[in-house]
Chains A and B, each alone.
Chain A
Amino acid sequence: MHELGIMTSVLDAVESAATDAGATRVIAVNLKIGEMTEAIEDALVFAFEALRDLPEYGLCKDAQLVIEMVRPKSECLECGNCYEHDRFDMLCPKCGSFATKLIAGRELEIDSMEVDLPD
Chain B
Amino acid sequence: MQIDLKQPILEKNDRIASELRERFAQNHVYVVDLLASPGSGKTSTILATIDALRDEFNIAIIEGDIASSVDAERIKAQGIAAVQINTGGACHLESDMVKRAIDVLDLERLDLIIIENVGNLVCPTDFDLGENVKVMILSVPEGDDKPLKYPGVFQVAQAIILNKVDTLPVFDFDVEAFTSSVKRLNPQVPIFHVAATRGEGVEEWAEWLAERIRQA
A and B, one complex? yes
* Chain A interface (Cβ < 8 Å from any Cβ of B): 1-2, 6, 9-10, 13-14, 17-18, 21, 31, 36-39, 87-91, 97-100, 102, 108-117
Q: Which residues of B contact A (CB under 8 A)?
A: 1-12, 91-92, 122-123, 125-126, 147-148, 151-152, 155, 181, 183-188
Question: Is the pair A2, B91 in contact by a Cβ cutoff of 8 Å?
Answer: yes
Cα(A9)–Cα(B15), bound, Å: 13
Q: How far is the CB of A91 from chain B (nearest CB, A)?
A: 6
B181 touches A36 (CB 8 A): no
Contact B155 A36 (CB under 8 A): yes
A97 to B188, CA, bound (A): 10
B126/A115 in contact, CB under 8 A = no
B4-A111 in contact (CB<8A): yes
Given contacts A36-B155, A39-B126, contact A113 B187 (CB under 8 A): no
B1 in contact with A114 (CB, 8 Å): yes
Task: Report A-chain residues with C-beta under 8 Å of the C-beta of B91.
Answer: 1-2
Note all chain B residues with C-beta closer than 8 A to A116: 1
Q: Which residue of B lies closest to A17 (CB)?
A: B5
A37-B152 contact given A2-B123, A6-B10, A114-B2, CB 8 Å threshold: yes
Given pairs A87-B155, A112-B6, 10 additional interface contacts (CB within 8 A):
A2-B123, A6-B10, A13-B7, A31-B9, A38-B123, A90-B186, A99-B188, A108-B8, A110-B9, A114-B2
B126–A113 touching, CB < 8 Å: no
Are A89 and B10 interface neighbours, CB within 8 A? no
Q: How far is the CA of A112 from the CA of B185 in the complex (A)?
A: 31
A88 close to B9 (CB less than 8 A)? no
Are the CB atoms of A88 and B148 closer together than 8 Å?
yes
Chain A contacts for B185, CB-based, 8 A: 87-90
